[in-house]
Each structure stands twice: as C-alpha cells, then as structure tokens.
Structure 1
Amino acid sequence: MNSKLLFLLPLLVLFTTNLNAQSLRLKIENESKKPIANASISSNNKIIATTNLSGEASILNTQIENKTILISAQNYQSLSYTFSNLEEQSTITLVLNEENQLQEVVITAGRKQENIATIPSSVTIMNQKEIQQQSSINSNLSSILGNVIPGLGTATNKATNSGQTLRGRQVLVLIDGIPQSTPLMNGSRDIRAIDANAIERIEVIKGATSIYGNGSGGGIINYITKKSPLNNSFGGVTTVGTTFNPLNSKETFGYRISQFFNGRKDKFSYVLGGSYDYTGLQRDAKGVPLGQTDGLSNSHQANAFVKLGYDMDENTNFSVVYNFYGSTQKAKYISQAGVYGQTPTIGVRGTEPGKEAGTPYNHNFMFTFSKNNLFKTTQLDVSAYLNSFQSMNRYVTAGTAWFGPGQTMINSNKNGTRINLNTPFTIASLPSEITYGIDVLNDVTYQDLVDGCVYIPKMDMLNIAPYAQLKMDVLENLIFKGGIRYENATVRVKDYNTIATGANNAGSIFVEGGKIPYNATMFNAGLRFNKYEVFNPFVSFSQAFAINELGRILRRANENTIASLETDPIITNNYEAGFSSKFYNFNLTAAYYISTSKLGANLVDVGGYLVAQREPEKVKGYEITLDYRFSNKLNLGGSYSYVEGKAEFDDGSTVYLNGSRIAPPKATGFVTYKPTSDWNLQLSWVNTGSRDRFALNSNGRYNNSEGPILTVNLVNFAGSYSFNENWSLNLGVENLLNNYYYPTVSQYRALAAEYVVGNGMTTSLNLRYKF
C-alpha cells in the first residue's frame, strides 16, 4: 500500500502543478490604482469572467482563444490584451483608462460599431460621465449640447430649440436611430425629446449625411439609450435633487427625481426607469420673472423608459425598447411685452388661455433583431419602430398667419423598418467590408388649430431607400469609405383650403391635392489616414436629402394646385477636410467645411409672414477643439467654431442667411480639477460672439430674425463629491457670475414679444445613490 502511495504522489504533484499553471489571476484597476468591480473579461466574443469587488478574477488558460482577452467596464475604455506566454504568467494587473473621445466607438456614422479614428468625418461624442456632469448644471438637453458641441447653436432657454442649427443647417435628431425631427414641418421641439438620465451616450455626426434619411443637412444627433450589463447582476441609480435661484429664490424652487434599474439573468437583460422634473419660476439676474414666450417656468417634464433584451444564443439576440417623454408648462405667469432693443418682455402674474404648451407626448417603440453570424461572417440587424409625437404651441390672441386668436399643434406619426447587413471580406489581401440594406419610412405630419381648423394639411410621406456603404484599407492605414443611397419618396396631400387671413374666410384659397414624387441619388466618399496619432487627417464629400419646410410652402400656397408650387427637395453637398492629433497628453481636432445646395429653405419675413426662400445657398465654417491633460488631477480644454452663410439670387447678388439659420461664433473653455479621487470640479465658459449682417427696413425696424447679436459670456460650475462607492453629491451652478444678458434668439428675432432676458444664477443640488 505504501509503495502505491509513493508511486501516485509524484503524479498528484505533477497534476496539481499543471492545474495551477492553467489558472490565471487578473487584477483590473483604474489610473488611481482603485479596483474596478464588475469588469467583463471576454475572449472571442465570449464572456469568461467578471471581476469581484476587489477588481480580481480567475480564468483558465484554456478559455483564452488566440492568447487575447478584452476587458470592458462602464465609463472606461475597453482594453484588448494579448499574452506573450500564457504558461509563464499566473498573476497580472491591467489598468483601464477613463473614456476618451478620440478612442470611442461610434455606431451612428456607419450604422455599425466603428472606431472614431477610422471615420472620415467630424464626430463628437458625449459619454455618460460628461452627460451627468453637464446635466448637474442644467438638465435641458438643448443647453447641454449647446454648451459643448462645436458648430451647434447655443440654447434658447425656451421649450423650443428654434435657431439651434448645426453648421447652419437643420439637424436630424434620433433616439436609438428612431427619427424625432419633423422636417416636413419643423416644430423645433426635437432636441428636448428624452430625459438625460435615460441616455448612455450622445453621438453627433456633423455635415450632410443621408445615412438615416430625410432632414440631416447639418448632421445627426443620436441619443443612445442606457444599456444592460454584460454579466448577471442587478443594479440601479437613484437621483433626487432641487434647483433654485440662490440670489432671488422666491417661487424659483424646482425638484427632480429619477430612478433606473438594470440587470441581467442568464439570457434575459433589462433596463427600467423613469424621471420627473419640475422647473420653478425663472428670474433674470435682477430677480425679475422672465417673459413666458415659449418659456420654461413652471414646466413639468416626465420620462418613462423600458428596454428588454433576450440572447437566443451567443450570436443572436433581440430587444424591445419603449420610451415616453412629455414636457408641458402650467404657467403661473404671462408675458408683458417690452420694446425690442430697449426694455425686455417680463413675466407678470396671470394665466395663459388655451391648452398647456409644450410636448404633451412623445412615444417611441422599437423592436430589434440581431444576428452576427448570418452566412458565417455577415451581421444582420433588423429594426421596426413607431414614433408618435405632438407639440402644442402657445395660445396667441392675434395670429399673424391666420385671422383671429388661436393655438396650433403639430402631430407627427412615423413608422418604419430598417434592414441593415454588414459583410467583411478581403480584396487582394486588403481588409474590406460592405454595409448595405434598405430603409422604409412612413411619416404623417400635419398642423391644426385646436378648434379643428386646418393650418397645414396632412402630409403622408412614404420613403423607400436602399443603400450601400463600402469601407476598405486601400493602403496600410489609409481607409476609404464611400457609399450610395437612393431616395424614393412620395408625399400625398388631399385637397385643402389655406387658412383664412381675414374675416368671413377672406384670403383662403382652394388647393387641389395630389402626389409629390421625390427621387434622388445621394453619394458620399472619404479618406482617412490613421497611421500616426500625432496627425490623423481626413477628407470627405457627402450629400443629404431633405423635404424641408414643405408644410410652410403648402400653408402659404398662392396657386390652386400642388403641382404649381415649388416643392423640390433640398440636396446638400458637404465638402470637408480635417484632422485629429494626439501628442503625449495634448489632443487637437480641426475641420474646415463648405456646404452648398441649389435650393434653400431660409425663412424670410415677407409681409409679416415667414416664407421659405428657395434660392441657392452656400455655408462655410471651421471648428477647432483642444485639451491638455497636465496630470490625473488637472485637465484644460476648449473649442472655437465659426459659420457663415449666404443665399444667391438669379442676378448674382447675394444676401446673408438670417439668425434662424446662422449662429454667431462660439467659443468654449473648461478647467477640470480632481484634488482627490473623491472630488471632481469643473469650471466652464461659453462665449457667443457678435453678428451684425442686416440693415433696418423701410419702417426703421429689423425684419424678423435679422436683428444684430451682441457678445454674451457665461460661466458655469459643476462639482461632485463621492462619499463612497454608492453615494455622491453633485452641485451645479448655471450663470455663476449672475450676468444680465439676452440670449442670441432674443436678439436676432427682433420681436418685442421674444425680447426676453436670460436666466440669472441658478443652482442645482443632486444626491445620487448607485447600487
């Protein structure tokens, strides 16, 4: 018996030694050497381990394919690590860096995951940390984006985002790819279409692009909603807070509550949540209530969000998303008109007649099916979506576009299907891929008065658009991307009468309806050379298709048939060159662009009415961003963007595009300081420059949207303190110096009713619990 034990003992030792050698222990931590819990470790797209609270995980060597693993964690850059010799390593520590925009993965530009360094166009990404930081200053998405995104106009401090264009043209707003904008009749309520707490990241693609269809002449803003965890877990975030004017606090108190849950159980995943936000009375720097023309005082905002997912196998999954958003104003103050250029319109006690203005509802529903091994290497994504949206304009006692008082509302109902495929392949040993598919969209948009009168007739558009995008490495590190999209759209309009402009139906004419066909082929092509981080240049050409402001053309019809009206689409051509540069801790991006169109939609004042001007347009500008990281504690950065545009008449004369299209130059700056790992402090600055392009009219006044714009400087503060891993406190101060100013929209509109001062100092205090 003893001899048998002596014989088996060496075998047992050898087996134990081999077993230990097959086990590998990983420790994942951040730059501050703090452990990162719940980091996912995967190999060949299979999750093989998850780190514990100490940031540690054990994996078997046999689980690692091709000696490579991928570590990913929320709010950190993913890290791919290849082992040189698995047998010789038993313990290893890996460091994840916080998210960096230049190394982000973006899905909007090419309808699939792409590294931002391979895309030949200008892209700006806001990650969840940046969204949270900016929303602690102001939870209004128009303000968040206007303060951060180069080329986008600053916020209006109103319920609408009128005039907040991107590079001088209209922007298409999406939620997970579902269109929120109403280009057939632009109601300018699309940027405020979801609550910031429901968003994982925001992707802004600048310049003309038809990749998602109608209305993206200036670019795309895509809100990517929160995602569920990759591993079995349950967690959530609770936020409660308040806002108020600390210098003139009477009636200014608002409140905010938000609750989101997320989790995964085997193949089933979910994100559930919602938020409710009330904004109190807004006062200017002198404590005077703001005028309430499309104001935000006493407004209520609600959001409900559900995302359910199921993994049928490791290559196949489907998900269902529903999002509800509503924002309406229960006004306790009404406007007392001032005099443009002299005295502001202010708020006085009173009740607005009519229904509550704002966005009564915005429903979004989407079902998505994905399979990443169709025909072995082809990825298939199929999405079907519904969007039902209503915006309510304020009641007016005397309409300028119709006879008598009234209140209009825009209704838009969209449903669509997107089939998208991506197939990688090689040409002469050159890595390549093709993305192709078809989009089908039905958009029904109309605008009525609440009493039932037709203001803009129902426009029923069916758009079928096949497309293909090729991406290939034409040389090592030289990436070509080009594509084609065919727009085949038909808008159906029934017979209608234009709205009366005088008593006894005076001014109304009968218009015979019919079909308006639209056919156009859009192209794009670009090159990017990404061998060197110090200089990563690109050049591109892209086109966009837009049936823009068709509603305004129909409502001001002066012919008896639709066929007699100028309803041709706007085809935008965008030429761009730019680069990104990273040198040690210094990041720099720059881009110059020219945007042209043979037809325009500049809204000009004709006899007191805003009419779409169809003359050719040329817009050009440039953008620069930079930041320098002095250390893990101190970061400094900023941006500058400039845009200008003109329309050209048949005789060769030109006229500047007005303020509703062209924003003044914008500069931003920030300093972020982290004295310890628990503190995060940021001071930011937003400057909107001057723009004075127009003369007084024959009546000694400025035409609508042609008023001069004076420089505005605003300073904001955002700070957070983490008590522990679960609890944190966030403090935001908007207009820290309590400047007395007029927002750009109040200046360029040149209307007494909209000559409203901006918000005075406003403080937000939020307590956050993450579990």
Structure 2
Amino acid sequence: MAQGEDVAVELEEIIVTGARADRPVSSTPSSVKIVERQEIEAQTRTTSNPAEVLSRLVPGFSMSNQTISGASETYRGRDLLVMLDGVPLNTPLRDVSRILALIDLNTVERIEFVSGASSLYGSGATGGTVNFITKRGSEGRPQVRINTALRTFTADPAEGLRPEASVSVSGRKDQTDYVFVGSGRLADRTFDGAGRELPSDGMLGQGGADRFENANMFGKVGHDFDAGKRFEVSANWIYLDQEPDWLTSYTQPFARPDFTRPYTGKSVLEDSKQFAARYTDEGFALGDLKVVAFYNDVQKRFNYSEFDPFYNSLVYYSGNPLAPTSPFNQSELSNKRGGVNLTVDSSLDRVFDGLRLTWGADVIRETTAQVTTGGDDTFNPMEQMTYAAFAQLEAPLTDRFTVRGGMRYEYFDLTVEDSVRPAAYAELSGFDIVLPELFVGGGEFDYSAPTFNIGGTFDLVENTQLFGGFSQGYALPDIGSFTRRAGAMGFADVLRYGCIAGISPGGLNCTPTSSATSFAAIAPEAQIVNSYELGVRGSHGRLRGSLVGFVSTSEEGVTFDPATNSISQQKEEIWGAELTVEMDVTDKLRLGTFLAYREGRYDSNKDGEIDTWLPNNRIATPFRALVYGDYRFDNDVTLRLEGEGWSGRERQVRTSTYPLEGAFLVNAALSAPVAGGTFSAGVQNLFDIDYMNPTASSVRENPALGTLEVHGFGRTVSVGYAKTF
C-alpha cells in the first residue's frame, strides 16, 4: 500500500473526545486538530512551552506571549478551555490564565483541539477546547525514559541558560498499567533579538520567562477489569518559583528591566495540584459509562509592581501620595474546584441503525479568593455550585450524511461574601486620585440557561468531508475581576467613591459620596457565545488538508480596556478563515503550511450597533502563517525548517489606535539516533530578528502614548538527548 493511502485511512480512524464520547474525526461537525506525540517531540527541540507549540501547530491560536502567563492568548479571539485528560484546569470565577505554559509535555501523548464554543465540559470554552491526553504504560517490562535539554540565548549564552530534565517510568503488568513522570526546569535571563535583557514582568503582574525554578510531578495508575471495565487514578503537581532581580520600566518605547530599582516583593509562585479518578464500563446496561471525579487545588502568587502614572495607574495605597504604592501591592489567589462528571454513550440501533445518544450530568463545587500579601481581600470571596445535564444525539441519516445535535442546561448557584476592597491610589487623565476602602456587599445569586448545538458531516468523496454547524458556549465572565475593580472603573466611579486632587473638596483627604456598593450593582451578565462554522477536510493520496470559515457572536461579550482599567460587556462579533495543507512529496520529504485570518468588532457605546474594532488584547494578529518542511535521511537523521509569520494590526478602537508590528521568523531543528537514544538540536529565531511580541504588547496600551512594546525572544539554541531503557 502506498504511503499516501496509509495516511488517508489513518484520517478515518482518528478518534476524538470533543463530544465527551469517542467519535471519529470524520463525523465531527467542527474543525479538529490532533497533535500526535511525534509532532510534540519535533516542537520540543526548540521550546518546551506548550503555548508556543500550539501557536505553531494550531491556526486559530494566538501567538504565545512567551512567558509563564497566558495573558491575551486566545483562540479565535475568545477564551480557551484547557483540560488534562478531560478535567478542566481553568479557574472561571477568577480567570488568571496561568495554565498552558506550565503543562509538562513530557507527560502528554497527544493533544486534541476542538474549535468553536461549547458547554459540554462546563464554563469557559467560548472559543474552543484543548485536551492534553497523558501517556499510559504499555505491555512489557518497565521502561525508563530520560529526556534532557539545554537551551540558551546566543546574545549571552552564559547568562541565558535554561536546563531541563525529565525522568519517566512506565509499564504494564497483567491488567495494571502505570506511568510516573518527574520533570524540572531552570531559567536564567532572557534576551531579545537586539541582545537586550527582557524584563521579568513585561505584562505587569503576570510573571515572565526568566529566573525561575519549575518542577512537575505526574502519576497515573490504571487497572483493566473484565468486560471493558477500567479504573484509573492520577495526580499532577505543578510548582514554579520566579525570583525577579529588578522591577520593570514601562516607559516608552519598550518594557525593560529597571536596573536602578531592585525587586522588593515576594517571589512569583505557582503551587497547583490536580487529582482525578476515572471509571469506565463498556458493558454498562445503558451503554458505555464514564465517571470522572476530580479535585483541583490551585495556589498562585503574582508579581509585585509599583505605581506608574501611564502604565500602572492603579495600585493599592500606602497612605503616602509621594510614594503611593503599598508594600502589599501583590496578590495571591486560592482556587479549589472539585466535581463529578457522568457520561453515558447509548446505542439506539433498535430505533434507527447507527443512532447514538450521549447524555450525562455534572456537579461541580468551586471556591475562590484572592488576597494581598498583607492579607486583605482584593475581591469578594466566592463559592459556586454548578449543576448541569446534557444530551447529544448522533444520527447517520445516510451512508454519507451524519447529523449531530443536542443541548445542555446549566445552573450556577453563586454565593458572594461581603468584602472590603483595600484603599487604592490612581491617576486618571492627569488627576491624582485616592479611592478609600470600599465595602462591597455580597449575596446569593443564580444564573441558568440552555445551550444548543447542531451540525453535520457529508462525505463528498472517499476520505473527504464537508462539515459545518452551530454551537453555543455558556460562561460567567471573570467575576473576580469585576469586583476587584469595584469603584475604580472610570470617572463615574471615581466621582462617587474617590477623591480627586484639585477638584474634590479637601483634595486627597475628601470624603467620597459613597463608601459602599454591592455585588448586585456591578455583577456581570452570563454570556452565551454563538459559533457558526463551515468547512471541508480530507486527504487524497499524499495530500491532506482543510479549509474552514467561522463566525462567532455574543450579546454580552467581555472587553478589557487597559487604558481605563475597565471591563465592559457588549455586543460583539468575530469572523475568520483557516487553511491547512500538508503533502508527502516523497517518502522522505513532507511539506506543509497553514494560513489563518481573524478579525472582530464590538458595540463600544452599548447602543446595539457594532461600531468599533475589538482591542488588540482580543485580536493582536489578524493574519498568521506557517510554512514547514520535514526531511528524513537514510540514516534516520531528521531535519525540520519552519517559517512563522504574522501581520501587524493598526485598528482604531473607540478613539485610539495602538499599532502592532508584524514579523517573520525561521526555526530549525534536527534529530539523530545516537548510542541507542536520540540527540536533538534546535534554533528558534534563526536570524535573531528583533521583533515586538504582539500578544504581550497588546496588554500594555495607553491612549496618550500608544503601544508599549514588549519584545520577543532573540535567537535561542537547544541541544538535547533522550533515551529509553
């Protein structure tokens, strides 16, 4: 059989879990990207950051901001639900986004990316869903795998070292399989393409990519019983500690370390644990049964930062207007989330040949709180219970046409505790402002809504499908972010809750009009995102690819304006298209490309009319492209070349324009069998281009000064060696 024919058959056999039940890609009415282990290993020759890997392999994903944070990293301009073996890792009540970059790719066997809004796994998937599926031990004697890498920046190889090491043990004895992985990373300084040291906190409070220690521990044990029954437990621990040496200067033209101001805060910390237990039964009376119980214990600490009238114009107040930053202007998040997911995949062949009903229910409890390092609440502590039920029906109406549709009903029961927002100091339009402590009353609240989806696939010819559909995602926006900014969003708030020097009677010592508000007065609306998608995918001989167009809309979209430190909800729409093409030119040479476009607008004054472009922190690069080639020599040495490019953006958002620049980078990597293992080497940004990282830069914008540039990585080189014993 020819190689191209092998690939075509493989496409039909690829299984995804995007509908909470195993289904072939060919019957999935949305675009899907599967990243297999071989592709993951090819990318880790130049980077170990999963966000960078996805940005090169998934057309709709934004450029990585190249830090430990996920700030402004979006999928098709919207939020991405991140899962590990089907367990959500997001913290929806306070979405701080530090997830993707800390996942250990040494534990991952494959990555499934399903596009479009969805509620099937709960809140958060307004743009798409990514599921990192971990490895499983295989039959035979225990295997020990050692994977090492040493990375550095050519601008200063001695000061830019980034060593990595991972050890895994896996195997299967009788009916029990296991895998244990321990990994560690260290990072020193980082440099841009001009050889300048990059800051430890270029995006203000998010954390950087330098001066950290990172450890990941993962374990999974499963036991297969008779008749298709399996029980499995897993645990994952992520620990990171970043200790910056210097504060960051946010003055134009670019963010950089301020070598005159030593960092005085606590370290940036991640100490998060995930536990899960899964039971599957293929012989269950009502169909294939899957029960997942999980518990996530997330602890995060963010950077300390100081007052800057242009780029950090709101800080917790020290009481001294000459040095307004509180020594506790640093916060720590605690999020605990646990629940049970039940899924049953029932065959209804007695009703109609091939008819299947996937149905189930979820119960999730979540508590979250965020405090300053001095112990004061930065927002109202919250507890939420989520109850949901769903049903998905799949019907092969003909041999070539399959329809899938269903609904989910979700109910959020939210308890918000009373809280006192600490005193804050701000500068707004040239005025010095004090915002005294503000009481924010809590209460009991509930949100509920049904969401629907329907779509279909049609086999145009063998191994080629036309697909399309409509789907909805339901989510509560980042509630903690709303209450954290209580009384501090724009002049209207300031005039009521604060004191403006030179205007308010008594200046900075005035008594505000009001010293209390309530969650009910500032609570965000739940949002429903509608996704529409139409595309074609398939393979023919040695050629395979896809073309898809999409539109997503929301009546209660969420936009953050960094210039005014405000969050608003309004009508919005996003549209775009994506093309992927890959071809095995010969048995040794593979060439491929993707082209992606996305853009969006929203209703800036809430009059019901779409009137301005979405800000850059939603869409920073309308056009993105990747071209690549892989060549395997007769001695099993492989070489990969990549060119990744993106456009700039210069759209007027309300009355201001914040230009972002495009760039084109070249990456190269090779691997070779050496001494029973694999030696690898890679170069990222081969020509050492000095460029603006568009995703990171989009976070820091000012109407008077424009975009503050956060530069991207300069040339990095990597060498590694992996061996299985």
Normalising by the smaller structure, the TM-score range is 0.7 to 0.9
1:553-632 alignment, distance < 5 Å: 553-558=482-487, 560-605=517-562, 608-609=564-565, 611-632=566-587
Q: Flag the 1:677–1:440 CA change in 2: closer, same or farther, 3 A.
A: farther
Tell me if 1:728 matches 2:678: yes
Q: Matched residue of 1:456: which SS?
A: coil
Letter in 2 for 1:122: S
Question: Aligned residue for 2:693?
Answer: 743
Match of 1:133 among 42, 52, 65: 42
**Residue-by-residue CA offset, 1:404-447 (whole Å, 9 max, x unaligned):** 33101222110010111111122565211111110111121222
Moved more, 239-248 or 654-663: 239-248
Partners of 2:5 and 2:542 within 8 A in 1? no
Partners of 1:106 and 1:203 within 8 A in 2? no
For 2:199 and 2:66, the matched residues in 1 are separated by 11
Give the CA deviation at 1:143: 0.9
Tell me if 1:654 matches 2:608: no
Question: Aligned residue for 1:402?
Answer: 316
Question: Aligned residue for 2:495?
Answer: none
Q: Matched residue of 2:117: which SS?
A: coil
For 1:567 and 1:709, the matched residues in 2 are separated by 30
Superposed CA RMSD in Å reads 2.4
Match of 1:368 among 278, 282, 293: 278
Question: Aligned residue for 1:236?
Answer: 144
Please report the TM-score for the alignment, with normalisation by the length of structure 1: 0.82
For 2:557 and 2:163, the matched residues in 1 are separated by 43
Letter in 2 for 1:509: L
Match of 1:543 among 449, 457, 472: 472
Give the CA deviation at 1:491: 1.1
Give the CA deviation at 1:250: 2.9
Give the CA deviation at 1:653: 5.2
Match of 2:454 among 525, 530, 540: 525
Partners of 1:717 and 1:732 within 8 A in 2? yes
Partners of 2:562 and 2:701 within 8 A in 1? no
Tell me if 1:197 matches 2:111: no
Match of 1:713 among 664, 679, 699: 664
For 2:237 and 2:548, the matched residues in 1 are separated by 37
Give the CA deviation at 1:755: 2.9
Q: Flag the 1:451–1:31 CA change in 2: closer, same or farther, 3 A.
A: farther
Give the CA deviation at 1:241: 2.0
Match of 2:267 among 334, 356, 364: 356
Q: Matched residue of 1:658: which SS?
A: coil
Partners of 1:430 and 1:474 within 8 A in 2? no
Match of 1:383 among 289, 292, 316: 292
Structure 1: gaps spanning 5 or more residues = 1-29, 33-94
Tell me if 1:756 matches 2:710: yes
1:28-43 alignment, distance < 5 Å: none
**Residue-by-residue CA offset, 1:278-318 (whole Å, 9 max, x unaligned):** 12211222322112213211221111011011122242110
Letter in 2 for 1:684: E
For 1:96 and 1:370, the matched residues in 2 are separated by 34
**Residue-by-residue CA offset, 1:434-477 (whole Å, 9 max, x unaligned):** 11110111121222111111111112111010111111101112
**Residue-by-residue CA offset, 1:90-114 (whole Å, 9 max, x unaligned):** xxxxx99589984453433111221
Please report the TM-score for the alignment, with normalisation by the length of structure 2: 0.87
For 1:450 and 1:554, the matched residues in 2 are separated by 18
Letter in 1 for 2:316: W
Q: Matched residue of 2:590: which SS?
A: strand
Tell me if 1:552 matches 2:481: yes
Q: Matched residue of 2:524: which SS?
A: coil
Q: Flag the 1:245–1:101 CA change in 2: closer, same or farther, 3 A.
A: farther
Letter in 1 for 2:589: L
For 1:369 and 1:356, the matched residues in 2 are separated by 39
Letter in 2 for 1:691: R
Give the CA deviation at 1:391: 2.0
For 1:103 and 1:391, the matched residues in 2 are separated by 42
For 2:472 and 2:191, the matched residues in 1 are separated by 43
Moved more, 97-106 or 318-327: 97-106
Number of aligned residue pairs:
665
Give the CA deviation at 1:512: 2.1
For 2:174 and 2:463, the matched residues in 1 are separated by 43
Partners of 1:288 and 1:346 within 8 A in 2? no
Q: Flag the 1:207–1:197 CA change in 2: closer, same or farther, 3 A.
A: same
Tell me if 1:253 matches 2:161: yes
Quick check: which has more Rg, 1 or 2? 1
Q: Flag the 1:96–1:627 CA change in 2: closer, same or farther, 3 A.
A: closer
For 1:695 and 1:270, the matched residues in 2 are separated by 52
Letter in 2 for 1:674: R
Structure 2: gaps spanning 5 or more residues = 202-206, 318-324, 427-432, 488-515
For 2:608 and 2:234, the matched residues in 1 are separated by 53
Q: Identical aligned pairs, as a percentage?
A: 27
Give the CA deviation at 1:501: 2.1
Q: Flag the 1:176–1:673 CA change in 2: closer, same or farther, 3 A.
A: same
Partners of 1:385 and 1:417 within 8 A in 2? yes
For 1:287 and 1:562, the matched residues in 2 are separated by 48
Question: Aligned residue for 1:667?
Answer: 625
Q: Matched residue of 2:244: which SS?
A: coil
Give the CA deviation at 1:671: 0.7
